Amino acid sequence: MDFVNAIILLLNYIIVPALSYGSQLALGAIFVTLIYGILRFANFATGDMMSFGTMFAVLLTWYFQSLGISLGVLPTALLTIPFAIIMMILYMLTIDKFVFSYYRMKKSPSVMLAMVSIGVMFVTQAIVRIIIGPFDRRFFDGERFILKANEFKEMTGLNEGLTIKSTQVLTIIITAIVVSILFWFLNKTKTGKSMRAYSDNEDLALLSGIDPKKVVMITWMIAGILATIGGVLYGLDKSFKPFTYFNNMLPIFAAAIVGGIGNPFGAFLGGYVIAFSEIFITYAYKKFFMYVLPESMEPNSLIQLLSTDYKFAVSFSILVIVLLFRPSGIFKGKVL
């Protein structure tokens, strides 16, 4: 019985939260990696673009709520995602037309484009804060929990409760759907293949008749979808605050690089690597060992490898280690 309790403990505090956090990171990391692989620059506006898309979802959710439209047990925000995606894609294409395309035509070095993306970051951040303000916004409605700790305890008779939030399940399911459609698109369709060819060898792709404008446009569209969905899922699970989104850029970058930048599958897994290591290393295992070990060996300290204050630092240290030993990432991306 103790062993089952220990497993439930891990599920409740490590595996479920890490899976949902990892999914949110994974969506962002695929966004970063696609932009890096096809448009060839590190996009420092990642976090703010995600907050831009989420902002529309938040505003529309409020509007729908005022109209009385809702999805019942599901959050209303799901209904607003398609509209938010459209706004996001329009914004991205506008930015690309007025800002990025000029440097792409001139074949500027990628550092230049990264600097330009910092300008875009400032502008996007300003727009988001001017429209919706810098404060914490909650826009979740519907059923909060699928499984509550008390119910679980009554159901199974175990000591440990298992809480599953509906947003966590939603995050995992939606990520799985989006990512599988994306991989199907990249691997099986002609457009997807042309994108991969363009990422692999630009000149050769151009020679074989691939239209660069179309590739760039589709990349931004996919990026818009990923950014908005990732942002909305994160906002539903925690809350929407522009500053947090800006900060999330850092673990997202870490995930993309750890997975091998330019490699979407690597980025997907990288998100989970970062999320799991952050939570694994900062979790206090005292209770776990109390269940597993016999009473005489019970630990009296917290058995925590690092305090939770260092949550961010963990993912960055992993990044440094990966950079040292495998600069191209765990799953071979572009060699940098």
Binding site for other proteins (CB under 8 A): 41-42, 44, 99, 102, 109-112, 114-116, 118-127, 129-130, 133-134, 246, 250, 253-254, 257, 307, 309-310, 312-313, 316-317, 319-320, 323-325, 327, 336
Q: Is 331 exposed, middle or buried (0-12, 13-18, 19+ CB in 10 A)?
A: middle
**Chain centroid offset of residue 274 CA:** 11
Distance CA 162, CA 143 (A): 17
Distance CA 328, CA 36 (A): 13
How big is the CA angle at 140 (ends 228 and 246), to the nearest 5 degrees? 45
Q: Which is nearer to other proteins, 3 or 325 (CB)?
A: 325
Q: Nearest approach, Cβ of 119 to other proteins (angstroms)?
A: 4
Helix residue ranges, H only, the chain: 2-10, 16-34, 46-67, 77-95, 101-105, 110-132, 149-156, 166-188, 190-200, 202-207, 212-237, 242-259, 264-282, 286-292, 311-325
Q: Nearest approach, Cβ of 223 to other proteins (angstroms)?
A: 17
Q: Which is nearer to other proteins, 185 or 316 (CB)?
A: 316
Q: Is 201 left (phi over 0), alpha (psi -120 to 50) or beta?
A: beta
Q: Nearest approach, Cβ of 97 to other proteins (angstroms)?
A: 13
Q: Which is nearer to other proteins, 112 or 176 (CB)?
A: 112
Q: Nearest approach, Cβ of 146 to other proteins (angstroms)?
A: 34
Q: Nearest approach, Cβ of 62 to other proteins (angstroms)?
A: 15
Q: Is 216 left (phi over 0), alpha (psi -120 to 50) or beta?
A: alpha
Q: Which is nearer to other proteins, 114 or 146 (CB)?
A: 114
Nearest to 19 by CA among 225, 231, 184, 173: 173
DSSP 127: H
Q: Nearest approach, Cβ of 36 to other proteins (angstroms)?
A: 8
Q: Which is nearer to other proteins, 225 or 249 (CB)?
A: 249
Q: Which is nearer to other proteins, 81 or 113 (CB)?
A: 113
Q: Which is nearer to other proteins, 191 or 307 (CB)?
A: 307
Nearest to 78 by CA among 145, 12, 142, 32: 142
Q: Nearest approach, Cβ of 273 to other proteins (angstroms)?
A: 15
Q: Which is nearer to other proteins, 70 or 317 (CB)?
A: 317
DSSP 285: -
Q: Which is nearer to other proteins, 79 or 303 (CB)?
A: 303
Which residue, chain included where needed, has tokens 């000149």? Answer: 203
Q: Nearest approach, Cβ of 64 to other proteins (angstroms)?
A: 21
Please, which residues bridge with residue 165 across strands?
Answer: 145
Q: What is the DSSP string of 200-221?
A: H-HHHHHHTT--HHHHHHHHHH
Q: Nearest approach, Cβ of 196 to other proteins (angstroms)?
A: 21
